[in-house]
Amino acid sequence: MTQLSTEPTAAARPQPAYLSNQALKDALYNELELHVDLAVQGVQVDPEDYAELHRLAGGKDLGPTTLSELRAPTLPSFTLPHGLSGDARQNDRSIYGLVVEDGQPVLYRYGKRTTRIAEVEFPQRPKSPLAGRFTSDGVPFSDIARVSSSTGLVHVSFSVECSLKDKGEECKFCNYDNRNSIIKTPRQVAEVFAAAIEAGVATSFHLTGGFVPERRELEYYTDVAEEIRAHTGLDDFVGSISMGAPADYTVFDKLKEAGYFFIGSNMEIWDRNIRKAIVPGKENVCGGWDNWVGALEYAAGVFGRAHISSNIVAGIETKKSVLDGVEYLASRGILGKAGIWRPTDGTDLEGHQTPEAAWHLDVAYKQRDIYRKYGYTLDEIHAHHSAGGLTGLLYRIEEEYFENGKLKRWRHPTLQLALNKTH
C-alpha cells in the first residue's frame, strides 16, 4: 500500500536532535510497546513494496518469479528510531504497514485515522571479512554459521531436523522438520569460529539443533568443543549450547570440562500437565518435568549462577504459571526467560493467537521485578545471547545502556577476556 508523501527527501531530511537520557528513556518505553505490538500483530506489506524493502535491507532483489515467497514472505528485521528492533512477520490483517517512501522504509498504523509512525532503518551490514571464505573441505562459511559483527555472535544450527518429528512427538509450536538436512561437522564449525576470532568479529559462539536419534547430539557437542580448542588454542571459550535435559546429569560436567560457558535447556512450558500436551517428545525422551528441572538445577551447580537458561514460551499457559516458572528458576540461579509465543504456520498451533501486547509487557515487567529481587545484573542476564529478551531490554533502558542517542546493542565482552588470558 504505497502512500503519497509530503515528507522531505532523504537528502533534505534534517538530522535528529539528541534527547536527554530521561527523554530517551521515556521514548524507549513507548518504543518497547511498539516493539512488542509488532511482534504480536506483524506488519502488512503491499506486494509492490516487498521486493523494494528487501533490496533496501541489502537482500536480493526479488523478481516476478518469487510468488511463493510473496505468499509466505519473511520480512527483514528493521530498527525503530530509538534503537529497538521491529521484528515482525508479514500479516495482511495487521494494523501496521511498512511502505517505501522516497526510497525509505516507513512504518504506518492504520485505522480510522492513519498514523505515520516513523521512518525505520534496515541495519547496515558491512561486508563480512569472512565473505567468500570456505572450509578446508570446500563449504562456504555462510552455510555453516551466521556471523554477526554487531553482536559478535557466531551462531551455528548444526541441523534443522529434529528426531522428535519422526516419533510424532514434536513440540506443538515448532516447525523444525526439514528432511535430509546435513549435520555440520565439528571441524567445519571450529574452522569458521576460529576464522571469525582471527578476523576480530567473534566474541561468542552458540550451537543449536534438534534432537538426534539416540541423543547423539550430546556427543556431538563435546566433539565440537574439542575441535574449537584445537583450532583456537582456547581452553575455555564463550560457547553456549541449547540442549534437551539428559538422563545422566554428569553430561554437564563433561560439557563444562570441554570448555563451554553457558547451557540453554528450554522447558518451554512450566505447567506440568500442559507441558505433556504441548511438548510430548521433551516429556517422553527426557524423563518428564522432574528430570528436566533436576537437570537445570544440577547444571547450575556445575556452571554457576546465570550460566544456565531455560526458555518458557509465553502465551500458551497462564501468566501466573509462566511467572511461577521464572521465579522458581531465578531463585536457583537459572535464567527462566519468558519469550513471546508467535504461532507459526506449519505447526499444530497454526492459526492460534498469542495474547495481546499488554499481556506480554506485563510478563516482561514482572519478570524484571523477579530478576531484580534475586539480584541479577545486566551482565548476568545477557550472559547468553538470547537470555535477555524483553527483560534484557528493560534492564538496558533502566541502566541507560545508550550509544549515539539510541539503545546500544549487547555485545559480549567475555571472549576478549578469555583471549587476553590465553596470550
193 binds ligand SF4, rule: CB under 6 A: no
> Count residues contacting ligand SF4 (CB under 6 A)?
9
Find the binder of ligand SF4 among 211, 298, 376, 410 (CB under 6 A): 211
Q: Which three cell numbers stand for residue 277?
A: 500436551
Measured from the CB atom, the residue of 14 and 346 that comes closer to ligand SF4 is: 346
CB of 3 to ligand SF4, least distance (A): 39
> Do the Cβ atoms of 173 and 213 come closer than 8 Å?
no
CB of 158 to ligand SF4, least distance (A): 11
Measured from the CB atom, the residue of 84 and 278 that comes closer to ligand SF4 is: 278
262-264 and 204-208 strand pairing: unpaired
Measured from the CB atom, the residue of 28 and 312 that comes closer to ligand SF4 is: 312
> Do the Cβ atoms of 383 and 239 come closer than 8 Å?
no
Q: 131: how many CB neighbours lie within 10 A of its CB?
A: 10
For residues 5 and 12, what is the distance between their CA atoms, to the nearest angstrom? Answer: 14
**Which 240-299 residues touch ligand SF4, going by CB under 6 A?**
282
Q: 306: how many CB neighbours lie within 10 A of its CB?
A: 23
CB of 111 to ligand SF4, least distance (A): 36
CB of 131 to ligand SF4, least distance (A): 29
Cell 500483530: give the residue.
41
Measured from the CB atom, the residue of 170 and 191 that comes closer to ligand SF4 is: 170
Measured from the CB atom, the residue of 210 and 339 that comes closer to ligand SF4 is: 210
CB of 176 to ligand SF4, least distance (A): 4
Strand stretches in 158-246, DSSP E: 204-208, 239-242
Rg (CA), the chain: 22
Q: What are the residues whose beta carbons fall under 8 Å from the beta carbon of 241, sequence distance 6 or more?
A: 206, 207, 208, 221, 255, 260, 262, 263, 264
For residues 387 and 378, what is the distance between their CA atoms, to the nearest angstrom? Answer: 11
CB of 140 to ligand SF4, least distance (A): 24
Find the binder of ligand SF4 among 42, 81, 210, 389 (CB under 6 A): 210
> Do the Cβ atoms of 207 and 222 come closer than 8 Å?
no
For residues 356 and 91, what is the distance between their CA atoms, to the nearest angstrom? Answer: 15
For residues 365 and 314, what is the distance between their CA atoms, to the nearest angstrom? Answer: 13
CB of 160 to ligand SF4, least distance (A): 8
CB of 173 to ligand SF4, least distance (A): 7
SS3 145: coil
**Which 140-179 residues touch ligand SF4, going by CB under 6 A?**
162, 164, 170-171, 174, 176
Q: Answer left, alpha or beta for residue 58, where phi above 0 means left and psi between -120 and 50 means alpha.
A: left
Measured from the CB atom, the residue of 305 and 352 that comes closer to ligand SF4 is: 352
Q: Which residues bind ligand SF4 (CB under 6 A)?
A: 162, 164, 170-171, 174, 176, 210-211, 282
